[in-house]
Amino acid sequence: MSDATAPAGRGPLATLLASAAKSPLVLLALIWLLFILIVAIFAPWVAPMDYQEIDLLARLAPPSWSARGFHLLGTDHLGRDLASRLVMAVQLSMLVAIFGTVIGAIIGVTIGFVAARFRGWVDDLVMVFVDFQASMPFVIIALAVLAVTGTGNMLLFILLIGFQGWEKYARITRGMTLSAVNHGYALSVRLLGGGTLRVYLRHILPNIFAGLIVQMSINFPETVILETSMSFLGVGIQPPNASLGNLLSYGRDYLLNAWWIAVAPGVVIFLTTLSMSIVGDWLRDELDPVTRRSA
């Protein structure tokens, strides 16, 4: 796979980075994603103030650098510092997106493995569910669940977001596993006495990993948009917790006199999903042997 085409003495990661350095767009996208990641990880230290601290004397203050406070983006209707809320929103939204993507991958890969391992009616049943999921917008299913459970539970919301895209992981895992099983290596491990779990986790999973990474890079921006949309609609992350979506929704009420409240989180979402799409396209070209051959 990717090792075979890498120049001698360099690992696949070094090869990837060398190719990224050649495209300024990919480089910019990677830098933005790194920046967002750093902000997300160190949010409490990056945030200039306590994001939930209420200062009723400084409600709806414009951006200012006065002695009263360092409000880069001004304050909201409760006098909370908006720049700090934005930083914490980046943290929460990225957390939900990363967890969501990983949960979806784990669920999908497991189901794909099960379908490929047992074939027959299990496989048929899985494919019926995959087709069903593929034909329904995920947000509709999420809304149906949230109507019953209520919208206050953040853990449940993250889990729900995680299910987004499981059918795509299941489909590609099943397909790639079926073709891998017929390859010599899986069969020889089996003949040498390796158990099913060992064959799937130690031998097949690493071989389909590149395809999964590409799928995750496609899934990630979709997860960001799903979470922020639902938070925007008021059925996702609820205040006082800050998500990029509910910040934007809050800013909508102040477009007349404080447009930056809505625009700042919107720009962060846009740049993040755009960067991830650019990186995803690039990863697909680099990692996917099929498109690389035809290119």
Q: Which residues bind another protein (CB under 8 A)?
A: 128-129, 131-132, 135-141, 143-151, 221, 225, 228-229, 232-235, 245, 248-249, 251-252, 255-256, 259, 262-263, 266, 269-270, 273-274, 277-278
Which one, of 85, 100, 87, lies nearest residue 239 by Cα?
A: 85
Q: Minimum distance from CB of 112 to another protein (Å)?
A: 15
Q: How far is the CB of 275 from another protein (least distance, A)?
A: 9
For CA atoms 115, 118, 120, 121, the dihedral sign is: negative
Whole-angstrom distance between the N-terminal and C-terminal Cα of the chain?
16
Q: How far is the CB of 234 from another protein (least distance, A)?
A: 6
Q: Give exposure, 241-275, as e/b (b: 16+ Cβ within 10 Å).
A: bbbbbbbbbbbeebeeebebbbebbbebbebbbeb
Q: How far is the CB of 190 from another protein (least distance, A)?
A: 27
- For helices 82-118 and 260-287, the axis angle rounded to 10 degrees is 30
CB of 191 to another protein, least distance (A): 31
Report d(CA 53, CA 38) in Å as an integer: 23
Strand partners, 233: none
Which class for 232: exposed (0-12), middle (13-18), buried (19 or more C-beta within 10 A)?
Answer: buried
**CB closer to another protein, 77 vs 202:** 77
Q: Which two tokens stand for residue 233?
A: 């609609």
Which residue lies nearer to another protein by CB, 180 or 226? 226
| 34 or 144: CB nearest another protein | 144
Q: List, as own/partner pairs, every contact residues 71-76 make where C-beta atoms lie below 8 angstroms and the sequence separation is at least 24, other chains included.
A: 72/48, 73/260, 73/261, 73/264, 74/258, 74/260, 74/261, 76/250, 76/261
Q: How far is the CB of 202 from another protein (least distance, A)?
A: 30
Q: How far is the CB of 53 from another protein (least distance, A)?
A: 27
CA 287 vs. chain centroid, Å, equals 19
Q: Which amino acid is at 92?
A: L
CB 284 within 8 A of CB 293: no
Cβ proximity to another protein, 84 vs 246, nearer residue: 246
Select 8 or 290, whichever has its Cβ closest to another protein: 290
Closest listed residue to residue 173, CA positions, set 128, 125, 130, 226? 130
CB of 150 to another protein, least distance (A): 7
Closer to another protein at the Cβ: 105 or 248? 248
* In the block, residue with structure tokens 């203050």: 61
Query: Toward another protein, which CB reaches closer, 84 or 93?
Result: 93
Nearest CB to another protein, comparing residues 186 and 243? 243
